[in-house]
């Protein structure tokens, strides 16, 4: 039982014993720096149950805790706040219980429990991964790791959007303008090559629109009737009909893209347990559209299109199949969800990592799946996140103004190298060691900058600012970890022994920060928020640096103090490493 659970139990008992009243919950907060104490009980919420003066109520509870709880050594009441001082022995015992735990804070999964499937990345095969995909991948991967650390069984997955009009646009542009060039003949990554043809399609399409408007068409008519678009639509229908030539072209260009994606995922440090392809799952979605028509979940319009009427649920009507029989995104997403449960019957819920422009789509999808009668549909969660902007403005794939993920990773490593050289931190490193370190720092800076922000918030990403070695940044935390490793390398004595000594205030504060880690993991899991892990780690590092500046570690007065402080430093480093692993960030042994 944690300290707060013990105190909560005893506070409730104090209210029952003294006032003969039952309290449901006890509210705690950290004690403010200007007051003596380690944990504070907030009295004000109790006044709904216990009538009286909050100071007197606080005094009564404090006296009861002092009498009945061994680890409570003193208390004081300030207005409606009961500040409780906890004995050093509690913190020493707690620390000695965790000092050798290499996975402190992590909970092993109960394999009998239902699993969670986390979907992220889910790119279109008509362009390379860009900065928006980077936030998606980092968020999804991190949430999967956090859920796993909280004790859940997790499957990481993605749905590859490998069919549809966007894909046909790239295919058609390559067929018309590509002169049979390949990734091998151009030296370009396959996803980049295909992305270039998506941009090319848009350029030529705009020219056709201008020509049609010049000959008297309205802009809307021109957009709808441009020959290139009509040909792309025709190509999509041929693909769905299984036309050999179109399918062969589709397979060839997609294979180029998959090879490119895999390289990007490796660079980014994310992985997947299983992959799904829209070209497979949309068929199952269409089967359930037919099923839903029979049960009255869907209705067919006179033109043959199929809809779901959600107006009684406060939403609108949603198309699930076009009049020509082709599938829409909703059809594919219905099929994908159902297929995943068929493949993994132990999955009891899913997390979809998709930008907030799709909030309404997922509201509709989850409701349709409930109407189709799937019990697991109540455990679906949309991990909605804000867009990532750059100082230069919004990105658009079709206009070729996106920031390519691979280029960004390279740029981050390069910037990390420039700053490290300026600071003169890398004396004695070989060129290979420097390159590896630059990538670790650069990628750590990128990931931390993105993940420290609440997922729902929009981000203005500044690469230079993210690689600052001071403040709430990845490199600052990595540098602290490396500093601790340098201390540990110098500690040439036995650090496995148990030490019980009076604690310096800075030691106590650091142990209190360590004590929070398991709860932070659970909160981050329930809120699907890596930001809680990131900002906890920054607070831990700040606390360690204050400790480092105020007490001597290897120059302590006696061997017991020296050993204890090395042990404490070691557990801080281990916790930093574990916390950063949940963010997908590596920590360097030297910096």
Q: pLDDT for 435-456, tens place per residue?
A: 999 999 999 999 999 999 999 9
CATH of domain 120-389: 3.40.50.620
Topology (CATH) of 3-86: Gyrase A; domain 2 (3.30.1360)
CA distance 125 to 159: 11
Listed range (54-63, 64-73, 288-297, 395-404) with the worst mean pLDDT? 395-404
CA-closest candidate to residue 118, choices 264, 262, 273: 273
**Residue with the two structure tokens 């542009």:** 173
Q: Give 350's strand partners.
A: 117, 380
CA-closest candidate to residue 208, choices 193, 194, 196, 224: 224
Instruction: Give the per-residue pLDDT at 395.
Output: 42
- Could you tell me the pLDDT band of residue 389, with boundaries at 50, 70 and 90? confident
Is the confidence at residue 396, as pLDDT, over 80? Answer: no
CA distance 401 to 199: 10
Instruction: Give the per-residue pLDDT at 425.
Output: 65
The gap between the terminal CA atoms of the chain, to the nearest Å, is: 39
In the chain, domain spans: 3-86, 120-389, 425-582
Percentage of the chain with pLDDT > 70? 98
Please give the radius of gyration of the chain, using alpha carbons only, rounded to the nearest integer: 29
What CATH class does 425-582 carry? Answer: mainly alpha
Given a contact cutoff of 8 angstroms between Cβ atoms, the answer to whether 465 and 459 are in contact is no
Instruction: Give the per-residue pLDDT at 401.
Output: 55
Strands ordered across the beta sheet of 380-385: 274-277, 153-160, 115-119, 347-355, 380-385
> In Å, how far are 198, 204, 217, 233 from 212, measured between CA atoms?
21, 13, 6, 18
Cα dihedral across residues 402, 405, 406, 407: positive or negative: positive
Q: Round the average pLDDT of the chain to a whole number and report it.
A: 93
Is the confidence at residue 277, as pLDDT, over 70? Answer: yes
CA distance 405 to 426: 27
Task: Give the model confidence (pLDDT) of 334-387 as tens digits.
Answer: 999 999 999 999 999 999 999 999 999 999 999 999 999 999 999 999 999 998
Given a contact cutoff of 8 angstroms between Cβ atoms, the answer to whether 493 and 563 are in contact is yes
Cα–Cα–Cα angle for 170, 390, 146, nearest 5°? 85
Given a contact cutoff of 8 angstroms between Cβ atoms, the answer to whether 416 and 475 are in contact is yes
CA-closest candidate to residue 407, choices 168, 115, 130: 130
Is the confidence at residue 510, as pLDDT, over 90? Answer: yes
Instruction: Give the per-residue pLDDT at 328.
Output: 86
Percentage of the chain with pLDDT > 90? 82
Instruction: Give the per-residue pLDDT at 398.
Output: 46
Task: Give the model confidence (pLDDT) of 83-130 as tens digits.
Answer: 999 999 999 999 999 999 999 999 999 888 999 999 999 898 998 998
Model's pTM, two decimal places? Answer: 0.91
CA distance 127 to 138: 19
Instruction: Give the per-residue pLDDT at 66.
Output: 97
Instruction: Give the per-residue pLDDT at 327.
Output: 80
């Amino acid at each position: 039982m944690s300290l707060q659970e013990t105190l909560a139990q005893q506070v409730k008992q104090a209210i029952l014993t003294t006032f003969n009243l039952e309290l449901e919950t006890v509210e705690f907060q950290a004690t403010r720096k200007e007051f003596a104490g380690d944990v504070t009980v907030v009295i004000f919420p109790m006044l709904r149950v216990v009538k009286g003066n909050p100071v007197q109520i606080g005094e009564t509870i404090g006296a009861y805790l002092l009498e009945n709880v061994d680890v409570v050594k003193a208390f004081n009441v300030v207005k409606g706040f009961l500040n409780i001082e906890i004995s050093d022995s509690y913190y020493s015992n707690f620390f000695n219980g965790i000092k050798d735990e290499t996975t402190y804070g992590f909970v092993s999964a109960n394999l009998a429990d239902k699993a969670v499937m986390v979907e992220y990345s889910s790119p279109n095969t008509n362009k390379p991964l860009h900065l928006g995909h980077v936030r998606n991948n980092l968020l999804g991967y991190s949430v999967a790791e956090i859920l796993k650390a909280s004790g859940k069984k997790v499957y990481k997955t993605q749905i590859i959007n490998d069919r549809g009009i966007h894909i046909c646009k790239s295919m058609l542009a390559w067929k018309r303008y590509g002169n049979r060039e390949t990734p091998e003949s151009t030296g370009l990554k396959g996803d980049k090559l295909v992305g270039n043809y998506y941009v090319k399609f848009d350029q030529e399409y705009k020219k056709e629109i201008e020509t049609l408007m010049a000959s008297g068409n309205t802009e809307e008519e021109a957009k709808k009737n441009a020959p290139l678009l009509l040909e792309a639509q025709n190509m999509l229908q041929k693909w769905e009909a299984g036309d050999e030539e179109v399918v062969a072209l589709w397979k060839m260009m997609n294979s180029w893209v998959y090879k490119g994606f895999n390289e990007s995922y490796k660079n980014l440090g994310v992985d997947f347990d299983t992959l799904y392809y829209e070209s497979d799952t949309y068929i199952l979605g269409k089967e359930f559209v037919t099923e839903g028509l029979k049960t009255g979940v869907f209705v067919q319009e006179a033109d043959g299109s199929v809809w779901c009427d959600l107006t009684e649920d406060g939403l609108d009507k949603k198309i699930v199949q076009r009049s020509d029989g082709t599938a829409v995104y909703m059809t594919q997403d219905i099929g994908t969800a159902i297929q995943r449960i068929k493949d993994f019957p132990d999955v009891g819920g899913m997390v979809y990592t998709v930008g907030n422009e799709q909030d309404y789509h997922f509201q509709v999808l989850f409701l349709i799946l409930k109407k189709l009668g799937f019990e697991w549909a109540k455990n679906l969660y949309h991990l909605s996140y804000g867009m990532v902007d750059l100082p230069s403005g919004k990105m658009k794939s079709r206009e070729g103004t996106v920031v390519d993920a691979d280029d960004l990773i390279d740029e981050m490593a390069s910037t990390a190298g420039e700053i490290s050289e300026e600071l003169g931190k890398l004396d004695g490193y070989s060129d290979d060691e420097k390159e590896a370190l630059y990538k670790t720092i650069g990628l750590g800076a990128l990931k931390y900058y993105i993940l420290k922000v609440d997922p729902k918030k929009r981000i203005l990403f500044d690469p230079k600012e993210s690689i600052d070695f001071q403040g709430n940044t990845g490199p600052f935390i990595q540098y602290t970890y490396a500093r601790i490793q340098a201390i540990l390398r110098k500690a040439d004595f036995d650090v496995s022994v148990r030490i019980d000594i009076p604690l310096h205030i800075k030691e106590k504060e650091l142990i209190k920060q360590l004590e929070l880690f398991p709860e932070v993991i659970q909160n981050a899991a329930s809120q699907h928020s890596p930001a809680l892990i990131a900002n906890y780690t920054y607070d831990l590092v700040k606390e360690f640096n204050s400790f480092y500046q105020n007490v001597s570690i290897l120059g302590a007065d006696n061997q017991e103090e020296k050993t204890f402080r090395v042990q404490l430093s070691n557990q801080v480093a281990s916790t930093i490493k574990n916390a950063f692993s949940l963010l997908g960030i590596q920590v360097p042994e030297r910096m």
